């Protein structure tokens, strides 16, 4: 399985800035693309701009969220068909900022995952516990709930990626130790074995949370860590390209 490096640009970058960053990433990583799968997830406004840069390069285009309905009176939302028409291959669903800032529930996220699959988009389902939940010993309970709910109603053939992102490590500079990440990824893999006994090893599990060039090597060396969902370090071509280079080794 190829390592996956997904860039979540969040609510950053104007169209010209997004174009320049995409160009710098592409020019710096072309030699590594055969061995690493790269996904860039810009804001909605920059999707077509980034697509024009990475077209035919092998880099995948992703969105950061979507609505579960294909169309309708949902002001400010974006649907799966709209993302497809913008050239998207992937969509991040259930990111902790969506769960904890915008109050998205497990049931809402499950609807979005199903909608993404229905429309032909690959969901990157984010799961993870808060610092308080970890301190209470609830990490495995929370992550299992997120995974089971997000995958409910799917078939083993559906193409999906899971990203474990401990909420306490996102944008804080704190990173789960390789051992902490390994333990949760192993739990997710074992859980997948009960859900998809014939395909459980084929589902990529990414780690996310303050991933940087100085820690990604140790993280990717752990069993069941198949790549990374990268936030802040993806906003600079130098650091993101270095992450890709390390993952390609």
Q: Tens of pLDDT along 84-109?
A: 999 999 999 999 999 999 999 999 99
What element of type H or E holds 222? none
191 touches 147 (CB < 8 A): yes
Tens digits of residue pLDDT in 32-65: 999 999 999 999 999 999 999 999 999 999 999 9
Residue 185 · residue 205 · CB < 8 Å:
yes
- Three-state SS sequence of 77-122: CCCHHHHHHCCCCEEEECCHHHHHCCCCCHHHHHHHHHHHHHHCCE
Q: What is the pTM of this model?
A: 0.96
Residue 44 DSSP label: G
Quote the CA–CA distance of 109 and 126 in Å, as a whole number.
10
Residues noted as catalytic:
95, 165
Distance CA 230, CA 47 (A): 18
The most confident of the ranges 118-127, 164-173, 190-199 is 118-127
| pLDDT number for residue 8 | 98
Which CATH fold would you assign to the domain 3-247?
TIM Barrel (3.20.20)
Domain residue extents for the chain = 3-247
Position of tokens 């640009």? 9
Residue 132 three-state SS: helix
Tokens 């799961």 correspond to: 127
């Amino acid at each position: 399985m190829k390592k996956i490096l997904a860039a979540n640009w969040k609510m950053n970058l104007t169209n010209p800035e997004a174009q320049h960053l995409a160009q710098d990433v592409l020019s710096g990583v072309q030699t590594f693309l055969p061995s690493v799968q790269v996904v860039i997830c810009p804001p909605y406004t920059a999707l077509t701009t980034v697509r024009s840069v990475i077209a035919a390069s092998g880099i995948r285009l992703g969105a950061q969220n979507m609505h579960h309905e294909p169309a309708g009176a949902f002001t400010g939302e974006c649907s799966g068909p709209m993302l497809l028409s913008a050239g998207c291959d992937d969509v991040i669903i259930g990111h902790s900022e969506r769960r904890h800032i915008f109050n998205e529930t497990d049931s809402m996220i499950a609807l979005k995952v199903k909608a993404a699959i229905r429309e032909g988009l690959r969901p990157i389902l984010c799961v993870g516990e808060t610092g308080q939940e970890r301190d209470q010993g609830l990490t495995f309970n929370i992550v299992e709930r997120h995974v089971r709910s997000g995958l409910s109603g799917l078939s083993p053939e559906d193409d999906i990626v899971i990203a474990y992102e401990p909420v306490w490590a996102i944008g804080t500079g704190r990173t789960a130790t390789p051992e902490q990440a390994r333990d949760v990824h192993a739990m997710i893999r074992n859980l997948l074995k009960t859900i998809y006994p014939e395909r459980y090893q084929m589902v990529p599990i990414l780690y996310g949370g303050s991933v940087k060039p100085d820690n990604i090597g140790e993280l990717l060396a752990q069993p069941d860590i198949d790549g990374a969902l990268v936030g802040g370090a993806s906003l600079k071509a130098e650091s993101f390209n270095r992450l890709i280079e390390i993952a390609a080794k």
